[in-house]
Structure 1
Amino acid sequence: MTYVIHGATGAQGAPVVAALAAAGKSVTAVTRNERAVVDGARVVSAAYSSAADLTEAYRGAAGVFVHLPVTPEGDHRIFVRNILAAVREARPARVLFSTSGAPTDPASGGAAATMVAGLADSGVCHAVIAPELFLENLLMPYVTDSARERGVLPYPIRADFPVSWASHLDIADVAVALFEHTDITGTVSVGQYPAITGPDLAEAFGARLGRDVVFEPITPEEFRTSVAPLIGEGAAAHVAEIYRAMSATPGRSIAPETSARKLLGIAPRTTSQWLADIGL
């Protein structure tokens, strides 16, 4: 039996593929490009837009790791409908869904909330991996180049806004463990606790770069302008809206009682550890 990994050539899925392959597991990488080459994995072409494609990919799987790509919310709703249809039909042994920081409260009415509710209703063994914000967001040229060249780390949150930052590498560690620990279901929170602020991030970057770095809050609109060339106007507008909504909240901290540290004994990387691991 194989583990089916979505986004296997992307930022979040690739580390999961690598971690499973390193553990000697059979891995199937789901991509939109059937000619893609993924080290340690068999490649299958399947689109989120096709329930039939997904059903075929999931059939007989020991586990499925899925997350929603950075696209407008309207696309997410279509993708979730098809993923859930495939899960119900194919009945893989286990499904892991990474929320990628999207809200899962039913009151939000969002696609991630629909996904979580649908998995709960499917009868399939599953768990929800719930990070808040990804440290890899800080690797965008607009952010890292500014830290290197100007000694300024810009990001669209308040300076006093606490966040339980997590790495895609942390998600991979947790996913591999959850595929083994099928007794753990429900939500598993992933991220630094206690949560840290923008100046804490800047301090870690400064220590790594060997220079003083200060944190600079920017507006969601400034952030949208900076990321649009990388991810497209539609996705950038969606991301900016997320940060606008976030600005009205007190912070983005995980719940320690559902943390990977408590449930699995897996501690998230500190910012300094993450910077060292990626070789920045």
Structure 2
Amino acid sequence: MTYVIHGATGAQGAPVVAALAAAGKPVTAVTRNPDAVVDGARVVAAGYSSTEELTKAYRGADGVFVHLPVVSEEDRQTYARNIVAAVREAGPARVVFSTSGYPTDHDTGGAAAMLVSGLADLGVSYAVIEPTLYLENLLMPYVIDAVRERGVLPYAIHADFAVSWASHLDIADAVVALLDRPDITGVVSVGQYPAITGPDLAEAFGAHFGKNVVFEQITPEQMRSSIAPLIGEGPAADVAGAYAAMSTLPDRSIAPENSAQKLLGVTPRTTGQWLTDIGL
């Protein structure tokens, strides 16, 4: 028996592998590279595009952690269907899915909603981790370079738009807890509470770097042009569209009643704690 972790060499999966390995849990690291070496884990090469490969990876697992990559929505929906089919065939004991901030409202018809609905229909033990925005987004070159070089933190939100930011380390803490908590199902929100604003972020960065840092609102289009060279034009356009839609909301705060703080006793890091923990 083992815990199967997707994206084990990536930003989301690697902290989960590290946390499970540190706890002495048997870990199977799922990667696309059969030659990858992952400390504390057995490596299995499998891709979201192959139901057969996923089924082999999931069979006999105590738990599976899955998240959908930043690719086209068409591909994401294909991957969601393949994951559900593999879970149906392999029958892992538990599945934990991180939405990576994508909506799970059935009205959206998106891949994240498809995957949640599919898991629910299977009757498998599952939980859904729902972060809002990742602190790691602030490590994009256009953000962190501006902080270091100009004392400015640029981001595509209004200055007074409050967000329950979370880090990949916080998600890993929640995943590890949920894999061993089959009594908890449904959505678990992960993020800082109370939510904080752009100037709050800038203040935390300033305190960490020992300099004055101010927040600068940019447009979703400016964000798109900044990240397209890194993630591709299509995914960048999707991200920009999501931020444009988000700008119509009053905030991106988690609800305390279904938070990791209440349900799991897991408190996400402050921005300053996160900056220290990643050694920036």
Q: TM-score higher than 0.5 here?
A: yes
Letter in 1 for 2:236: A
Q: Please give the secondary structure, in 1, of the residue aligned with 2:172.
A: helix
> 1:159, CA displacement in angstroms?
0.5
Q: Which residue of 2 aligns with 1:175?
A: 175
Q: How many residues align?
A: 280
Which position in structure 1 is the counterpart of 2:61?
Answer: 61
What letter is aligned with 2:203? E
Amino acid at match of 1:162: A
Deviations 1:8-65 (A, max 9, x none): 1110010000000000011111111111111111111111011111011100001000
1:92 aligns with 2:92: yes
For the residue of structure 1 that corresponds to 2:189, the secondary structure is: strand
**2:43 is equivalent to residue 24 of structure 1:** no
The answer as to 2:180 corresponding to 1:190 is no
SS of the equivalent of 1:188 reads: strand
Unaligned runs of 5+ in 1: none
For residues 100 and 265 of structure 1, the distance between their equivalents in structure 2, rounded to whole angstroms, comes to 21
Question: Match of 2:202?
Answer: 202
Structure 2 counterpart of 1:252? 252
Alignment of 1:141-180 (within 5 A): 141-180=141-180
Q: Secondary structure at the match of 1:166?
A: coil
Report SS of the residue matched to 2:204. Answer: helix
Does the alignment pair 1:39 with 2:39? yes
1:226-245 superposed matches below 5 A:
226-245=226-245
Whether the 8 Å CA contact 1:7–1:31 is kept in 2: the answer is yes
2:123 paired residue number? 123
- Alpha-carbon deviations, 1:181-206, whole Å to 9, x = none? 11111111100011110000000000
8 Å CA contact retained: 1:131, 1:191: yes
Question: In structure 2, what is the Cα distance between the partners aligned to 1:58 and 1:240?
Answer: 34
- Per the normalisation by structure 2, the TM-score is 0.99
Structure 1 residue 144, shift from structure 2 partner = 0.5
Question: 1:69 & 1:248 partners in 2: Cα distance?
Answer: 25
Q: What secondary structure, in the 3-state scheme, does the structure 2 residue paired with 1:216 have? A: strand
Q: Which residue of 1 aligns with 2:6?
A: 6
1:215 maps to which residue? 215
> % of aligned pairs identical?
75
Mapped partners of 2:237, 2:6: distance in 1: 24
Deviations 1:148-167 (A, max 9, x none): 11000001111111100000
Distance 1:75 1:217 in 2: 31
State whether residues 4 and 57 of structure 1, in contact with CA within 8 Å, keep that contact through their aligned partners in structure 2.
yes
Question: 2:111 is aligned with what amino acid?
Answer: A
- The corresponding residue for 2:268 is 268
After TM superposition, give the deviation of residue 234 of structure 1 in Å: 1.6
Amino acid at match of 1:35: D
Aligned to 1:76: 76
**1:215 aligned counterpart, secondary structure:** strand
- The residue type equivalent to 1:25 in the other structure is K
Q: Distance in 2 between matches of 1:68 and 1:261?
A: 24
Aligned Cα root-mean-square deviation (Å): 0.7
Distance 2:75 2:225 in 1: 22
Counterpart CA distance in 1 for 2:206 and 2:178 is 35
Runs (5+) with no aligned partner, structure 2: none
Report runs of 4+ in structure 1 exceeding 4 Å deviation. Answer: none
**Residue-by-residue CA offset, 1:60-107 (whole Å, 9 max, x unaligned):** 001000000111111110000000000111010000000011111111
Contact 1:71 1:238 in 2 (8 A): no
One-letter code of the match for 1:177? A
Letter in 1 for 2:105: D
Partner SS, residue 268 of structure 2: coil
Query: Amino acid of the residue matched to residue 154 of structure 1?
Result: P
